[in-house]
Amino acid sequence: MDVCATLRTDQETKVTLVFEHVDQDLRTYLEKVPAPGLPIHQIRDLMQQLLCGLAFLHSNRVLHRDLKPENILVTSRGQVKLADFGLARIYSCHMALTPVVVTLWYRSPEVLLQTTYATPLDIWSTGCIFAEMFRRNISQPLILLYYNISANQFQYVTLEHKTSHKGQ
């Protein structure tokens, strides 16, 4: 990997990360898996690599903010690489971060409620990805969670069954 940094302003530096070519993302990788899906040991290996990469980012105060199967690359040898750091930010305890981040299906409750967030944002997205590895069918998300202001409660829609459920 190469890192290219260019100074934009006195307060902003643009960083470009250059990786080797990887043929597939996690979505493509999972779509190629024959029934009944990934064996448990393979899911564990992929998740361990993903969580180690995430731990490295978080220990260096970096939020990815857009984890989804399309932004996780898997090499032909099964090595996981995090990609697409376009929404990533270095964070501090008192820093205001924008509420519009993360692809809708992977948004944490903190983002949906437009409250402050930090590393749990990425952990929530990782949990969604973990569930999709077991589920194997990643053409639709597990659930869509949202906050209904007029009803003053969380609601979720299970898109797989096209039904709506209420919960608090």
61: left (phi over 0), alpha (psi -120 to 50) or beta: left
Q: Exposure of 12 by Cβ count < 10 A (0-12 exposed, 13-18 middle, 19+ buried)?
A: exposed
Active site residue 66: yes
Alpha-carbon span 2 to 133, nearest angstrom: 30
Scan for tokens 């990788």, then name that residue.
Answer: 29
Using alpha carbons, select from 132, 81, 125 the residue that is nearest to residue 103: 125
| Angle between the N-to-C axes of helices 120-135 and 40-59, in degrees from 0 to 180, rounded to the nearest 10 | 170
Residue of 2, 10, 66, 122 marked active site: 66
Residues involved in catalysis = 66
